[in-house]
Amino acid sequence: MSARIGVIGTGIMGADHVRTLAREVSGATVCAVADVDDVRAKAAVDGLADARVHTDPHELVRDDRVDAVLVASSDATHEEFVLACLAAGKPVLCEKPLSPTVAGCRQVVDAEVRLARRLVSVGFMRRFDPGYVALRERLRSGAAGAALLLHHVHRNVAQPPGRPTSALVTGSAVHEIDVTRWLLDEEVVTVGGFLPRRSRLVAEPTHDPLFLVLETAGGVVADVEVFANAQYGYDVRCELVAERGTAALAPASPLLVRQDAAAGHEVPPDWRARFADAYRRELQDWVDALGTEVPSCGASAWDGYVATAVAERTVEAIGAGSRLRVDLPPRPALYDTA
Ligand code: ISE
């Protein structure tokens, strides 16, 4: 039987998830969507038989036909809707970040621990990207020797004006924070950040680009360039430097184009194109795990909490102009892996 999914938020990401679930994921049907914008919600389910449109997301969570919920509304609303899913006992996949504040993430972790059931997954889709997966497997195989350094690059074409600088960390670099701890299986213990010369193409109050430095418990140093208004395309890179060599993500495009006196790889316009395969794999994994006792392989609420805790501390470190320690509370036993 197909799992009946309700999607909260039908903006860019939510509408994309509806399409992927309906067309590319087996064992799932989208049976409801909710959005404050009724027109947008209706457009997202155009052509999907029997999908209900709610204007109140809480109604969607309560809807008996909905077995599981995907939250893709604005970041600040994630906590409220994930908590509603926990109260209703429904599995929920929440887009990253679990909450933009560490206090919000903690509420979710505490509610899940009280329930003593793992119902929350967080959409850190890079954990399903074949390139990142290959990098992790290479490290785990021991072929590269021990990891020493990670170089991350995270560039977007442009961001809506007015985005606070902190959002470049809590909304964008939070991916690199998650991927660093997932690749290395180590926690980040100190964080620091620089404000390089500000691009004159970016309006106040956003300071762009940023340069972050994360150090893990095992002494690996990861640097992260975040450039949210890089103009030319969506470019995500990751290079591992290890004892016996290096390994880096290959260019996202399989084509080498020679034209107009130039040769090169095309760069995707945004993350949906770059990570389409990762999103599909993430959703399939989540759907496959529904109704089983085994949680999906994706990030847990605890992972969501830690990523935001490290991101928040990084924002503080940038403000303080110095490196700061990250002190995490003990991980609740619910999140122990077998
Ligand atoms: C966006 O919200 C995402 O989640 C993308 O994956 C990320 O690369 C981008 O920087 C964010 O703005």
pTM: 0.96
Q: Which candidate, 118, 62, 60, 63, places its Cα nearest to that of 71?
A: 60
CA 248 to chain centroid: 20
Q: Looking at residue 338, what is its pLDDT?
A: 58
State pLDDT tens for residues 96-115. 999 999 999 999 999 999 99
Q: Looking at residue 12, what is its pLDDT?
A: 95
Query: Which residue from 156, 165, 208, 225 has its CB within 8 A of the most atoms of ligand 1, so it is best to mutate?
Result: 156
Whole-number Å distance, alpha carbon 194 to ligand 1 midpoint, is: 20
Name residues contacting ligand 1 (CB within 6 A).
156, 171-172, 175, 271
Say what percent of the chain tops pLDDT 70: 100
- C-beta atoms surrounding 241 within 10 Å: 16
State pLDDT tens for residues 109-137. 999 999 999 999 999 999 999 999 999 99
Whole-number Å distance, alpha carbon 76 to ligand 1 midpoint, is: 15
Copy the structure tokens of residue 62.
Answer: 């309560």
| Statement: residue 322 has pLDDT above 90 | yes
| Statement: residue 62 has pLDDT above 80 | yes
Strands 147-155 and 221-227: parallel
Backbone phi, then psi, for 173, in 5-degree steps? -65, -15
Angle, to 10 degrees, between the axis of helix 301-320 and the axis of helix 102-115?
A: 160
| Statement: residue 59 has pLDDT above 80 | yes
Whole-number Å distance, alpha carbon 23 to ligand 1 midpoint, is: 23
Q: Strand order in 299-300's β-sheet? A: 52-54, 28-34, 3-8, 68-71, 92-95, 120-123, 299-300
Atom of ligand 1 nearest to the CA of 226: 10
Whole-number Å distance, alpha carbon 271 to ligand 1 midpoint, is: 7
Q: How far apart are CA 216 and CA 188, in angstroms?
A: 4
Q: Atom 12 (ligand 1): residue with closest C-alpha? A: 172
Q: How far apart are CA 20 and CA 41, in angstroms?
A: 16
SS3 of residue 132 by DSSP? helix
Copy the structure tokens of residue 241.
Answer: 């430097």
Range 168-190 average pLDDT: 98
State pLDDT tens for residues 222-275. 999 999 999 999 999 999 999 999 999 999 888 999 999 999 999 999 999 999
CA atoms within 13 Å, Cβ hemisphere of 254: 1
Q: Atom 7 (ligand 1): residue with closest C-alpha? A: 172
Copy the structure tokens of residue 144.
Answer: 């590269």
